[in-house]
Structure 1
Amino acid sequence: MTRRLVVLLALCAALLSGCGFHLRNALNLPQNLGPVRVVATDPYSELADRLATGLRRAGAQPAPEGATGGVATLRILSEQWADTPISYDQFGRAQEFSLRYAVIFSMQRADGSMAVPQQAVELSRDYLAPAVDSIGKASERELLVRELRREMAAAILRRVDAAASAEPAAAR
Structure 2
Amino acid sequence: MSKATILAGIAVAITLMSGCGFKLRNDFQIADQFQKVRVQNATQKSPLTDVLIRRLAVYSAEVINQTHPKEHHQFQVPTLFILPEKLERRLLSLFPTGQVAEYELIYFCQYQVQMPSGDIRDFEFQLTREYQDDPDQVLAKSRELDLILAEMRRQAADRIIRQLSKTDNQN
Q: Shorter-normalised TM-score: what interval?
A: 0.7 to 0.9
In structure 1, what is the equivalent of residue 13 of structure 2?
A: 14
1:106-158: per-residue Cα shift (whole Å, max 9, x none)? Answer: 100123123xx112110010021122221221122111111100000011111
Cα distance in structure 1, aligned partners of 2:167 and 2:143: 36
Question: Which protein is richer in helix relative to its size?
Answer: 2
In structure 2, what is the equivalent of residue 44 of structure 1?
A: 45
1:73 aligns with 2:79: yes
User: Which sections of structure 1, spanning at least 5 residues, go unmatched?
Assistant: 168-172
Deviates more, 1:18-27 or 1:149-158: 18-27
In structure 2, what is the equivalent of residue 136 of structure 1?
A: 140
Cα distance in structure 1, aligned partners of 2:155 and 2:89: 18
Contact 2:90 2:104 in 1 (8 A): yes
Q: Percentage identity across aligned positions?
A: 27
Contact 2:110 2:123 in 1 (8 A): yes
SS of 2:118's partner is: coil
Contact 1:129 1:136 in 2 (8 A): no
1:91 aligns with 2:78: no
SS of 2:83's partner is: strand
Residue identity opposite 2:105 in structure 1:
L
1:66-89: per-residue Cα shift (whole Å, max 9, x none)? Answer: 483124210112310112221001
- Please report the TM-score for the alignment, with normalisation by the length of structure 1: 0.77
Deviates more, 1:144-153 or 1:74-83: 74-83
Counterpart selection for 2:166 from 143, 154, 162: 162
Cα distance in structure 2, aligned partners of 1:141 and 1:72: 33
In structure 1, what is the equivalent of residue 125 of structure 2?
A: 121
Paired residues in the alignment total 162
Residue identity opposite 2:99 in structure 1:
R
- Please report the TM-score for the alignment, with normalisation by the length of structure 2: 0.77
In structure 1, what is the equivalent of residue 30 of structure 2?
A: 28
SS of 2:166's partner is: helix
Contact 1:27 1:157 in 2 (8 A): no
Instruction: Tell me: CA distance 1:12–1:134, structure 2 relative to 1, closer, same or farther (3 Å).
Output: farther
